[in-house]
Chains A and B, each alone.
Chain A
Amino acid sequence: MSLPAWWTIDPNQPFTLGPRQFPGRIWTASGCFAYGLTGHDMKSAGFASPYQGIGAVVTKTVTPEPRPGNPMPRLAETGHGAINSIGLENVGFEAFLAETLPALEELGVPTVVSLAATRPDEFGDMAGMLHEKAAGFIHWHGVEVNLSCPNVAEGGHDFGRDPATVAACVSAARRNLPDRALLAKLTPNVADIAELATAASEAGADAVSAINTVIGLEVDLETGRPVLPRRFGGYSGPAIRPIALAKVDEIVTRSGVPVVAVGGIENYRDALKFFALGAVAVQVGTAQMRDPFAAARIARDLTPGQQG
């Protein structure tokens, strides 16, 4: 298949989102590419690095305090998808600010910082510290507030379901983030996702990322018990792509809020479907775990004349 006639965008050209210009429209999704590959070296024929053509790496979600994450097993592969319950294991905001973000800046990796918190004002505090500490960083483009990670028992899950709470988190972050893009990552586990997008936009978000994982559960037939110790996890992978397409369509047509689409994108054809619905950019998640060059490949394949 060649690129369709309606596809006239070069995803490797800069585009504007809120107060920032991003270097491209193919991003990696939070949780599936850590904090980039600091400390790693990876090669694949035809690519200078796994970052080639990537418009932004959305970091693994950072929380105010370090988190050890959930007990193992943390992953349950199901047909055409997988359920994860990592539990937001992360280095904590202090170490992220002191070490991780400067390392990404030095590598020149375009970065969006994913944040989660337990109270709306914590989003504001973290955004403020980022604004202060990373004011001179040229590769740090924005913040994605994670309102919907379904695998943290005490955390984001409830934030993401209520438009007023979404607005409170977004506006807290916006107040302290004057010159970077602000995105709200929305959960699909609600009846009306467009309502959440509108709430986020009115509170100051430049775009929404949609969708986060779908709540899922897998049962081990040998034991008769859920595979994951916390029973539920976040379902991702190609199986959720039709759900993501439907939710993105709802947001675009009913709220008009710019959408960075995410959900089951494995190749350039999948990405094109979201662009066809009006997404301004896309994120590659689970596919990035299998192939560190998945997003780079999609960016290349969506460039006219460059298909691999």
Chain B
Amino acid sequence: MVDPEIRPAVHCDGVVVSNEPVSSGLIRIDLEMDQPISFQPGQFAMLNLAGSASLVFSRPFSIFEADGRRMSFLYRVVGSGTRSMDALTAGDTMTFLGPLGRPFPEPEAGQSVVLIAGGVGLPPLAAWLAHHNENSGVEINAFFGARDGADVPWGLLKDRWDVSVDSPRDIPEGRLAWEGRVTDLAASREDLREGRDRMVLACGPTPLLKAAARFAEERGWDCWLSLEEHMGCGYGVCKGCVVPVHDPDNGPDALRNATCCEEGPVFNAAVLAWERPRGPQ
């Protein structure tokens, strides 16, 4: 079920180079791997929080940057795993398994791209944007939504992203942020109203994903979503991270379970069975 051009996953060690906040909610961890790793934007890695023996599972993180042996990830502290990760300092070791999963697709010739990222959903889309620089010939509009100005990693976004915030507090001098939902920001843009073919790529909390899918569907655009799910193994063997998808081969109403780690984490919005968000009951 894995595309043939996707590279083999590598299991290796990485040494923490730095582990510092880039906004009020996001932390950037840089690892020096023991070998160079290449990936495609949208793919993820399982990081094993060595040094915290009580955690039996690794944790999945979308790859933010990879440059030779250096790899970077962004994360938010949400549970025991990321709390342990936040305590790591330079010189600590993590184990790495990746790259894993299916990446975002490439746009077709002449197709423009709209990126919609929310909070900790930024890394895979920032990676995608970094792989498509201004000279790539692809017209790209990038939108990032955060809670407030302090939650925005301004230094990482540079000037390629338009920013929205739920609350307009803590916007730094000289920065602009639109107040409201990031999908509404995208919808408000005059230059996105012309009828050309576009592809929407989104990653973020479930309400954002649903809104992005609706935004694309209303305009007749293709939409690809990177889902976040708790994972056991990350490589398709435990079946602990399934998402319900439509199964047209078995009838118009048929559903089946797709592993988020192996068939995803990037899914076409049209295959996802939103009405059954938590698997067959």
The size class of the interface chain B forms with chain A is 35 or more
User: Could you tell me the distance between the alpha carbons of A260 and B236 in the complex, rounded to whole angstroms?
Assistant: 25
Interface centre among B34, B256, B280 (most CB of A within 10 A): B280
**A residues within 8 A CB of B230?**
73, 75
Binds A, one of B7-15, B108-116, B139-147: B7-15
**Which secondary structure dominates where chain B touches chain A?**
loop
Binds B, one of A12-20, A26-34, A134-142, A186-194: A26-34
**A residues within 8 A CB of B243?**
72
* B281 sits at the interface (CB 8 A): yes
Query: Are A286 and B56 in contact (CB-based, < 8 A)?
Result: yes
* B233 sits at the interface (CB 8 A): yes
**B residues within 8 A CB of A43?**
8-11
Q: Mark A83-107, 1 if CB is under 8 A from B, else 0.
A: 0101001000000000000000000
User: Could you tell me the distance between the alpha carbons of A291 and B97 in the complex, rounded to whole angstroms?
Assistant: 8
* B57 sits at the interface (CB 8 A): yes
**A residues within 8 A CB of B232?**
75, 82, 84, 289
Partner of A291, one of B95, B236, B281: B95
Which chain B residue shows the least CB distance to A66? B256
**B residues within 8 A CB of A34?**
236-239
- Interchain residue pairs with CB less than 8 A apart (6): A43-B8, A68-B256, A69-B280, A72-B241, A73-B230, A84-B232
Rank and list the top 7 A-B pairs by shortest CB-CB distance, nearest first.
A41-B8, A289-B233, A34-B237, A44-B11, A71-B279, A75-B240, A237-B56
Known interface pairs A82-B232, A292-B237; 20 further A-B residue pairs with C-beta atoms within 8 A, sorted by A's residue number: A34-B238, A37-B235, A40-B236, A43-B11, A44-B12, A60-B237, A68-B279, A69-B242, A74-B240, A74-B279, A75-B230, A77-B57, A80-B53, A80-B56, A82-B57, A84-B238, A290-B57, A291-B48, A292-B9, A293-B11
Q: Which B residues form the contact surface with A (CB < 8 A)?
A: 1-2, 8-12, 34-35, 46, 48, 53-58, 80-81, 95, 97, 229-230, 232-233, 235-243, 256-257, 278-281
